[in-house]
A and B are shown apart, each in its own frame.
Chain A
């Protein structure tokens, strides 16, 4: 540590409004950012990591106040700056990349114009030179066909391209510090790998100091030089990447690391002998958006000849990136949307041939657990109602149903007092448990879990996964597990189907898929999973 830090955050304390659940969002945090080094600030939701990033840019929301601390940059304390002083620093000294590139770009302005604003803001160059600079920046961040891209509007770009444009913008004035707030969280895993590489390369070639905010330890392993672990606004552990991963000191860090699912699938007994619980044969689904009078219709094939089956007691994973059609397949299997062609058979009942009452009578056999723990429970109904509505509609006596609900709550690790409460009184993980209880109340044979743990913090995710596994074994259920996260799939699935553009490109027992992927896309997907080279996973 002979190099002087580019920025030093010293004993930063940011107070939350009085109504918040804790007094400080950031409580006495000190971080040095050194040129040529990437510092990852890691933590779960609500740890205050994003606040640290925003404090560096003077972009904290009005509701919080900086109580004490200093942010030293080029010999000045940034926290003492007025608005015009901040403007001088922003973009030029310290630049920022945000999480969601779609909303971080102005939808009404061309990409090039938004890049050129960077120079305009600091009165640099002539408009013509700015244009040339925008073009060369677009090239530098690897945007294809830069001439066209700088004339395009944000909605015409893909997510990865938008994030590249954001990065180009941030680098325009060659800042000495880059703040990246979860820059790859909204992206697919293969795109994420590319963006991480880009940031790494640019940081090296420009010798920038980078503060990289993330919740994902895989990403940390791939990109960090140094790690700062935040919890409830306090630093619990700090050190070089090797030190933190190989020899974590704090219990919280240890727990977080342990909760990251491993890329090595556990050994599983083959279930080929069992009867088939679900059989999906040749499902086709094409979404057609009408193009109007003079344009051809737009067609997106969400499922193309999708065929697979699930044995009794088996978990089949459906893995793919956004737009691969995996969620559509889940909804087709559930008969939430209608297939163009194909059959879904549960035991010996053809679900796709049923309508109306006959369909409703069979629905209880296959139940679903949803992705979003906040959108999957009706905010206006009590937990008791949410769990018992289904069984009562099936004709179960309300009293019996309520007693069953009480048992189920215990089963998913919640106390029976929860019955009279409303969903908003529960945390994300607890809500997901409620969702599981609701599904189990129907006495299903099959559970379809659609990204059921994706919205959860890593420690909660591990608990919910374990719960699912236990319940599945105890009740002899079969499961269709939809996920974009190969690590999660490795841990829970007996077999995995990889989907790309509506087609299952590879379907194999999990261990075999990880050991010898055949399809190029499967290989790309496996290669893109972050954190495979990390010290802790190397062994």
Chain B
């Protein structure tokens, strides 16, 4: 178990290093002077800052040395300086990260719970109207662009019904404390979380349904029936437990998409997370910040993948650790 975690962490560090190296070359792909590119376009940079950057990144030195200096910087959590925001990139990200974690983890939890529930229902009542209703809605949500769902829910719940706040993390100037603050944040969280959640809920619903129908056919389910077990015990203990394995795998694979969804959702709802930060960096062509956020997103995905792998190993006894 420990050796597995150690192995995976080392592997993850290598992937992260590779991403950092890739970043280094990406900046050099952009047309123009890399220093100017890093400083940001459209008059955001003054000559002095560009000169600073040039020295900082040793752009006058040979490429391998530049690379080494760059990687060393990132490894020591120095992600550079955002001229536009007048703050170190690392600090900016650290400020915004909690909001993104709150949003993505809530969305992930909701979607997994509802997805598995609906998927199970659909599989149990396969062929009935309930199955059709669930399958068709899952298909629709699966095909709907996240940013559009976000806009449509604003239109419905904020503009027409006036139930929910349409942007931000908390009411500006509300100055709530204690439970009132929690409630305020929760109200702001509902729409962004549901927006991301709907897409993933659809994904997990489809996967759970398909997987359950597949497992239902397997021999050990027949064995369970031959024992005289009740149907709901068979479904829960034998079918669902086995059917969830591919869902866990899928959850790991989709962690990257989850982060991508956060970028779009945070942009629409002005949710102060790193997704929104990425959008701001994009608008201002603030490449240093953009790449910083990108590295952090990748790290998040790596951690999430590690966790899902661990969970998989815990639920499936057939996989031995370190093999």
Residues of B within 8 A of A122 (CB): 228
Contact A121 B219 (CB under 8 A): no
A residues 86-111 with Cβ under 8 Å of B? 86-92, 95-96, 98, 100, 103-109
Given contacts A91-B226, A294-B322, contact A106 B3 (CB under 8 A): no
Nearest chain-B residue to A122 (Cβ)? B228
Asked if residues A90 and B226 are in contact (CB atoms below 8 Å), the reply is yes
Query: How many whole Å from B232's CB to the nearest CB in chain A?
Result: 12
Instruction: Check if B219 sits within 8 Å of A104, measured CB to CB.
Output: yes
Per-residue CB contact flags for chain B residues 281-323 toward chain A (1 = under 8 Å, else 0) read 0000000000000000000000000000000000111100011
Is A292 in contact with B323, judged by CB distance below 8 angstroms? Answer: yes
Q: What sequence of 0s and 1s flags, for each residue 224-246 of chain B, a beta carbon within 8 Å of any chain A beta carbon? A: 11111111010001100110000
- A61-92 contacts to B, CB under 8 A, are 83, 86-92
Contact residues in A for B316 (Cβ distance below 8 Å): 107-108
For the complex, give the distance between the alpha carbons of A88 and B225 in Å.
11
Interface size class of B (residues with CB under 8 A): 20 to 34
B222 at the interface (CB under 8 A from A): yes
A399 contacts the other chain (CB 8 A) = no
Tell me, rounded to whole Å, the shortest Cβ–Cβ distance linking B241 to chain A. Answer: 5
A400 CB–B CB distance under 8 Å:
no
User: Which residues from A are CB-within-8-Å of B223?
Assistant: 96, 98, 104-106, 166, 169
Q: How large is the interface on A (under 10, 10 to 19, 20 to 34, 35 or more residues)?
A: 35 or more
- Give every chain A residue within 8 A of B257 (Cβ-Cβ): none
> Which residues of B from 1 to 37 have beta carbons under 8 Å from A?
3-4, 6-7
A108-B317, A293-B3, A295-B322 known; A117+B226 contact, CB < 8 A: no
Are B220 and A103 neighbours in the complex by a CB distance under 8 Å? yes
CA distance A122 to B227 in the complex (A): 9
**Is A291 interfacial (CB 8 A cutoff)?**
yes
What residues of B have a CB within 8 angstroms of the CB of A83 in the complex?
231
With both beta carbons as reference points, the residue of chain B lying nearest to A54 in the complex is identified as B222
B218 is an interface residue with CB less than 8 A from chain A: yes
> Which partner residue on chain B sits nearest A291 by CB separation?
B323
Chain B residues with CB under 8 Å of A57's CB are 225-226
Name 19 interchain pairs, CB-CB below 8 A, sorted by A: A57-B225, A59-B222, A89-B228, A90-B227, A98-B219, A104-B219, A104-B223, A105-B220, A106-B242, A108-B242, A109-B238, A117-B224, A120-B229, A121-B227, A121-B229, A292-B323, A293-B322, A294-B3, A294-B322
| Max chain A C-beta neighbours (<10 A), residue from B219, B226, B241 | B226
Asked if A118 lies at the interface with its beta carbon under 8 angstroms from chain B, I say: yes
Task: Report how far A291 CA is from B321 CA in the complex, Å.
Answer: 10
| Distance of A183 from chain B, by nearest CB (Å) | 13
Flag if B220 contacts A104 (CB, 8 Å): yes
* Shortest Cβ gap from A526 to chain B (Å): 32
A90–B323 touching, CB < 8 Å: no
Question: Bound complex: CA of A153 vs CA of B322, how far in Å?
Answer: 18
- With a cutoff of 8 Å between Cβ atoms, the chain A residues found around residue B7 in the complex are 292-293
Instruction: Check if A107 sits within 8 Å of B318, measured CB to CB.
Output: yes
A95: B residues at CB distance < 8 A? 226
| B224:A169 contact, CB within 8 angstroms | no
**Chain B: minimal CB distance from A483 (Å):** 27
Contacts A106-B220, A108-B317 given; does A117 touch B227 at CB 8 Å: yes
**Chain A: CB-nearest residue to B242:** A108
Asked if A153 contacts B317 (CB within 8 A), the reply is yes
Q: Among the interface residues A98, A100, A104, A122, which one has the most CB atoms of the partner chain B within 10 A? A: A104
User: Which of A88, A89, A103 contacts B219 (CB under 8 A)?
Assistant: A103
B323-A91 in contact (CB<8A): no
Judge if A200 is at the interface, Cβ distance under 8 Å: no
Chain A residues whose CB sits within 8 angstroms of the CB of B318 once the complex forms: 107, 153, 155
Give A288-318 interface residues, CB cut-off 8 Å to B. Answer: 289, 291-295
- Of chain A, the residue at the smallest CB distance from B221 is A106
Q: Tell me which residues across on chain B come within 8 A of A91, comparing CB atoms.
A: 226-228
Chain B residues near A100 (CB-CB < 8 A): 219
Interchain CB contact under 8 A, A108 and B322: no
Task: Assess the A98–B222 pair: CB atoms within 8 A.
Answer: yes
Select the residue from B4, B227, B229, B233 with max chain A CB neighbours within 10 A.
Answer: B227
Which residues on B sit within 8 Å (CB–CB) of A108?
241-242, 315-317
Q: Is the CB of B224 within 8 A of A106?
A: yes
Q: Are A169 and B227 in contact (CB under 8 A)?
A: yes
Which residues of B are found within 8 Å of A103, using beta-carbon distances?
218-220
Q: Are A118 and B322 in contact (CB under 8 A)?
A: no
Contact among A96, A289, A292 for B226, CB-based, below 8 A = A96
CA A166 – CA B228 in complex, angstroms? 15
Nearest 9 Cβ contacts at the A-B interface: A90-B228, A292-B322, A103-B219, A91-B228, A294-B3, A87-B228, A121-B229, A106-B220, A153-B317
Which residues of the other chain, A, contact B219 by a CB distance below 8 angstroms?
98, 100, 103-104
Q: Which of B220, B226, B317 contacts A59 (CB 8 A)?
A: B226
A291 / chain B contacts, CB cutoff of 8 Å? 322-323
Q: Which residues of A contact B233 (CB under 8 A)?
A: 120-121
Look across to chain A and name the residue whose beta carbon is closest to the beta carbon of B316.
A108
CB-CB contacts below 8 Å: B221-278 with A = 222-231, 233, 237-238, 241-242
